[in-house]
Structure 1
Amino acid sequence: MRIHNLLIRNRIATENNITNIISKHTNLLTAISNDNTVKNQLSLLSQRIEYVRPYQEAFNIEILGISDLKGNAATTYNDSIENISYRRYFQQAIENNKLTISNLIHSPISNSYVYIICKPFANSVEGGTIFASVSYDEIKKALSYQENTSIKNNLLNDYKGTQNNCKNINILKINKLYTSLDSTKISYNIKNKIAFSYYAINNKYQIERLTLHQIKNTPWYLVSTI
């Protein structure tokens, strides 16, 4: 039970860390998307992006950008107009009329990896999007809680010796017990984003617990093992 509680606490803390990072960006995009001077279709994109720069400086975000419905975009980084209509995150945001997060992409600005959050303008007749970069290092730092050594040490101190060995698997009275990790079933669940929580006995006769949960307000799922 203590392993179970530690895993839950660890997972929830990690999910909250990531959710806070994403929420900081989505709240900013929501505020900008309601700014009439930014979404004013009578002004050129190159003019409207100037109203966005103070937001970027205040929140220390690498890139903020706006686009029209055709995918022509202006960013706080580049003075020229770029077409992003081919980018999947833009297409999804426009097609589904909701916030979208890109796959991990490389940023030539900082020579690092980022995600792009793209949000349609709120209540805009002509349409268009507002988008921002999220540093992968921020997300990676949030995920590092999964590797928290205090959690590991806590477990090691509590479960030293033979208590951590379970050669007799009947001591665990639970339906979701696997004598080995069923990789086919687990792969299927991950691919189809089916949340799960399994106990398993590994090849060292130790208990393992594997879980998959969706992180709120994102298309991401967190896989946790302990």
Structure 2
Amino acid sequence: MGFFIRLITGLVFPPILLLGFYVVRPREEAVILSFGEFMGVDKKEGIRWRHPVGREIRRISTQDSTLEVSSSTVVDLNGNPINISAILVYRIDDTRKAAIDVASPHKFIEDQASAIIKRVCSKYPYDHKDTDVLCLKNESDEISAELVAELQEAVDVSGIVVESVKFNDLAYAPEIAQAMLMRQQAQAFIDARKTIVDGAVALVKDACTQLDDDGIALSTPAQEQLVTNLLVVLCSGESAQPVVQVQAHQNHAS
């Protein structure tokens, strides 16, 4: 029926055929429908022509696009609420799917991205003291790859190819931010003191070894007092007065 209508209008009103010209721009494809029937996709840029009667052109850009996923609250693996927003880079690869199978490909990926980010991020802790453990704060390649793979599977029906997913904002939710900051400061203080103590013990061992190598023998109480004084001075970071004066094992004549 559509063919006969186009034929009759072309014979009766020839000038109408001039309306059949249209332009396909670079990085753009034109999905053509005729009386609601899919007729094909024009991918070649330049001036194109199709019979204008009953024709519908749906132009789809194949340029790379970015999408900012607005901040939302997600509960991480440890049960802590965190605020996350992300930036997506994507493009439309299958224009037929984008034009016909979904109402709006850009709205489709926006809705899917929010759900995927929440699901994937809930599988990981925000932070972890062990650097070998995957966490959101480090934004490792493994987490980024999982976000891309999950989102790609969800939006495949729309003809979209997901290029990358990167966190734009990542922080503890305001209601626990102060408490988590205090926790991090306390952990940093403990780690710093542990480093100081480990270094002090190593220095004391070296000092005792050097005294033995120089032939200076100390009694057991003197060794204990020496170790105590050195640890107090090194660990306190301040000058400290020795509790007792360490005497050599060999006494000098009066």
Band the TM-score falls in, shorter-chain normalisation = under 0.3
Which structure is higher in RCO with an 8 Å CA cutoff and minimum separation 6? 1
When the two structures are superposed, what TM-score results if normalisation uses the length of structure 2? Answer: 0.26
Give the alignment's TM-score, normalised by structure 1: 0.28
Structure of higher CA gyration radius? 2
